[in-house]
């Protein structure tokens, strides 16, 4: 059904995962795929660079059409397969507006998680400062509080009464937060949302394989 699509992906990457969820929701199973290892540097391999010259995963193509940015891939799939599988853009103006607003507010959230998790990887040794580490943690705590507010009174889904692009895009970010030790107690609304959606078929089927055997590193435990 989706034999003209190819996805190169890495386990545990929210950007990769959301493309996988979108493909499932749009009934686009059967695409070509390959799991690559970030640890082994396979995201810089020739086969990735041929699709994604930035050397990042996901690297995704539909025929000759390249969609390496995960948001782009999700929006494209919904645009091209509107009437297939789950309708991922809601009908009402209020729901459409909230959906778009949330998916773009999720970008600072993901960025702040990354700034805490990857500080030592991003910042050369001689440029590291405890004050910066502390500031990044505080910024992530503030961001998580904003999301606790967004999720106050949230039903089964982030927007209205049905699963939408907001869930496709944002669920993997919360799952990533929790996987890396983020507190379910301090952010109960986030945790409740996470628990409601984690067994949805599209999500369960694409759960990062490296997350199945044993716990994460706990790096975010004091957030």
Euclidean distance between CA atoms 221 and 183, whole angstroms: 6
Least spacing, CB of residue 25 vs a copy of itself, in Å: 17
Under the binding rule (CB under 8 A), the answer on residue 17 touching a copy of itself is: no
Residue carrying the six token digits 């459409």: 96
79: enclosing H helix or E strand: helix 70-80
Does position 83 bind a copy of itself by CB under 8 A? no
Kindly identify the residues of this chain, within the stretch 97-116, that bind a copy of itself according to CB under 8 A: 97-98, 100-101, 103-105, 107
Whole-angstrom distance, CA of residue 200 vs CA of residue 205: 8
Which of 117, 162, 170, 169 shows the shortest CA–CA distance to 146? 170
d(CA 25, CA 163): 10
Sole window of 4-12, 122-130, 177-185, 201-209 interacting with a copy of itself (rule: CB under 8 A): 122-130
Residue (102 or 178) nearer to a copy of itself, CB: 102
Write down the least CB distance from residue 85 to a copy of itself, Å: 17
Contacts of 217 (CB under 8 A, 6+ apart): 180, 181
In whole angstroms, how close is the CB of 93 to a copy of itself at the nearest point?
Answer: 6
Interface characters, 142-181, with a copy of itself (x: CB under 8 A):
----x-----------------------------------
Asked if residue 69 binds a copy of itself (CB under 8 A), the reply is yes
DSSP per residue over 96-162, as a string? HHHHHHHHHHHHHHHHHHHHHHTHHHHS-GGG--HHHHHHHHHHHHHHHHHHHHHTTT--SSSSTTS
Name the residues that contact a copy of itself, by CB under 8 A.
53-54, 62-69, 71-73, 75-76, 79-80, 89, 93-94, 96-98, 100-101, 103-105, 107, 124, 126-127, 129, 131-132, 146
């Amino acid at each position: 059904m989706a034999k003209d699509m190819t996805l190169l992906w890495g386990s545990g990457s929210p950007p990769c995962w959301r493309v996988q969820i979108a493909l499932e929701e749009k009934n686009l199973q059967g695409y070509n795929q390959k799991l690559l290892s970030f640890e082994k540097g396979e995201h810089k391999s020739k086969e990735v660079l041929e699709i994604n010259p930035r050397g990042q995963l996901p690297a995704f193509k539909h025929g000759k059409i390249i969609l390496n940015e995960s948001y782009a891939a999700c929006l494209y799939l919904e645009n091209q397969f509107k009437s297939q599988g789950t309708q991922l853009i809601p009908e009402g103006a209020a729901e459409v507006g909230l959906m778009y607003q949330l998916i773009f507010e999720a970008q600072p959230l993901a960025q702040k998680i990354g700034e805490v998790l990857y500080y030592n990887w991003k910042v050369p040794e001689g440029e590291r400062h405890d004050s910066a580490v502390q500031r990044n943690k505080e910024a992530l705590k503030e961001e998580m509080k904003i999301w606790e507010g967004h999720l106050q009174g949230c039903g089964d889904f982030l927007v209205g009464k049905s699963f939408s692009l907001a869930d496709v895009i944002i669920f993997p970010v919360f799952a990533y937060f929790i996987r890396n030790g983020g507190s379910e107690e301090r952010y109960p609304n986030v945790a409740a949302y996470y628990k409601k959606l984690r067994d949805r078929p599209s999500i369960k089927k694409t759960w990062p394989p490296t997350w199945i055997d044993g716990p994460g590193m706990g790096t975010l435990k004091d957030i």
